[in-house]
Amino acid sequence: MNRAYSNIQAILKEGEIVPETITHPPVLTCEEADAFTPDPKAGLKSLVLQTKSRTNVAVCVLLGDQRVDFKAVQNLMGGRVSMMPEEDACDYVGCSRGAIPPFGHAQPLAIYVDNAVLDHPVVYFNPGINTETMGLKKDDFFRVLEWHHAVFATISKPS
């Protein structure tokens, strides 16, 4: 078990939140994971971005069919941003590629969540392992993100 998965389990237990858990073959993309969820349009992806100076690192949480609006994220992070290299991102979040969760990271990170995520009554995400997808009701998801001081903003643009 990796750090992100362990952290998520502890967070949900402490908050008395029971997720919907879907076990499936290993997946590396949100599109692959969507094949196993009841509502593929409610599948999330989490991307690790960094400022050019590498002083600010954040996880951006979007619906799987959206693209990051880098200009919007730059405004939130205070400088030019880019995707963090995979190896570095895995160290920050505590899990491997394709399983980055929206919360429960190994290191404290800023979390930016696209407003469109809250349009769904249940959202689905990889909890730090690529053989499981979790579903959380919107209210539970919002509550967990509030505990992590997540910022809700429009950080996506249509694909």
Residue ranges per domain, the chain?
3-158
Q: What are the angstrom distances between the C-alpha of 141 and each of 8, 56, 133?
A: 12, 24, 14
In tens, the pLDDT along 29-67 reads 888 998 999 999 999 999 999 998 888 999 999 999 999
What pTM value is reported for the model? 0.94
Helices (H) and strands (E) in the chain, counts: 5, 10
Q: Kindly indicate whether the domain formed by 3-158 is annotated with CATH number 3.40.440.10.
A: no
Mean pLDDT, residues 125-145 taken together: 96
H or E element that contains 112: strand 110-114
Torsion sign (Cα): 19, 42, 158, 152: negative
In this prediction, residue 24 carries a pLDDT of 96
Q: How far apart are CA 139 and CA 107, in angstroms?
A: 25
